[in-house]
């Protein structure tokens, strides 16, 4: 049993090292020019170890994106449950805190030309989340829900992208307050 825990930790550290090396390379050069050999060398593992955990660099990119999207989904679900139980207006600060805490990943995703896949997935996540919030009977919009969700999700992603590309010039609280005000003014969240 003790051996299994050590093995799991080693595997976890190896995967983290591979992902970290990949993201460093992703921030430095175009995705097409990154090789498995470069990733392995930077992660200080052999090429076979990378292939043991990932099919190829596309699988590695998908895994990195999927992990962060899943973390954001989980964060939003937890936040939604807390807000409902406490009768609070939704607070986007934890989302900005997450973006800030994982700045190297998001900076790499938004700075690379191949970031469209990431941006599309993030946009889909945000528009789906917003659409669910707008379907509540208390929020009867004049604008069709799906169009409004797409508009607000695009605006949110644009704000996050600007904030990340400008090296997070404002605090997460400031950004959360600004986004909350925009969402309240556009009746995404009730005031």
Tokens, residue 130: 């917003």
The reply to whether 77 and 131 lie within a common domain is yes
Rounded Cα–Cα distance for residues 15 and 160 (Å): 27
The reply to whether 109 and 76 lie within a common domain is yes
Long-range contacts of 33-40 (CB under 8 A, 24+ apart): none
Q: Which residues of the chain, if any, have pLDDT below 50?
A: 1, 84-89, 191
pLDDT at residue number 44:
96
The reply to whether 37 and 129 lie within a common domain is no
The reply to whether 37 and 79 lie within a common domain is no
pLDDT at residue number 1:
47
pLDDT at residue number 73:
82
Tens of pLDDT along 79-122?
666 654 444 446 788 888 999 998 888 888 877 655 667 777 77
Range of the domain at 151: 57-191
Query: What is the chain's Cα-based Rg?
Result: 19
Measured over the CA atoms of residue 105, residue 111, residue 117 and residue 118, the dihedral's sign is positive
Tokens, residue 171: 């605090």
The reply to whether 47 and 66 lie within a common domain is no
* H or E element in which residue 3 lies: helix 2-28
Rounded Cα–Cα distance for residues 111 and 108 (Å): 5
The reply to whether 100 and 134 lie within a common domain is yes
The reply to whether 112 and 49 lie within a common domain is no
pLDDT at residue number 154:
84
Measured over the CA atoms of residue 117, residue 125, residue 130 and residue 166, the dihedral's sign is negative
- Alpha helices by DSSP H, listed for 29-170, are 36-43, 47-53, 57-86, 93-101, 103-111, 116-134, 145-165
The reply to whether 4 and 40 lie within a common domain is yes
């Amino acid at each position: 049993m003790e051996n299994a825990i050590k093995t799991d930790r080693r595997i976890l550290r190896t995967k983290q090292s591979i992902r970290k090396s990949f993201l460093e390379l992703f921030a430095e050069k175009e995705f097409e020019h990154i090789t498995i050999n470069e990733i392995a060398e930077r992660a200080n593992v052999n090429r076979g170890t990378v292939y043991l955990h990932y099919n190829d660099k596309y699988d590695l990119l998908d895994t990195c994106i999927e992990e962060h999207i899943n973390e954001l989904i989980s964060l939003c679900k937890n936040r939604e449950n807390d807000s409902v139980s406490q009768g609070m207006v939704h607070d986007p600060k934890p989302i900005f805190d997450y973006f800030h805490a994982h700045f190297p990943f998001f900076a790499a995703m938004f700075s690379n030309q191949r970031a469209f896949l990431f941006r599309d997935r993030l946009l889909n996540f945000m528009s789906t989340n917003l659409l669910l919030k707008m379907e509540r009977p208390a929020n009867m919009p004049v604008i069709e829900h799906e169009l409004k969700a797409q508009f607000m999700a695009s605006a949110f992603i644009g704000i996050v992208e600007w904030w990340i590309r400008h090296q997070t010039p404002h605090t997460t609280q400031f950004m959360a307050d600004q986004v909350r005000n925009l969402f309240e003014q556009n009746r995404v969240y009730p005031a």
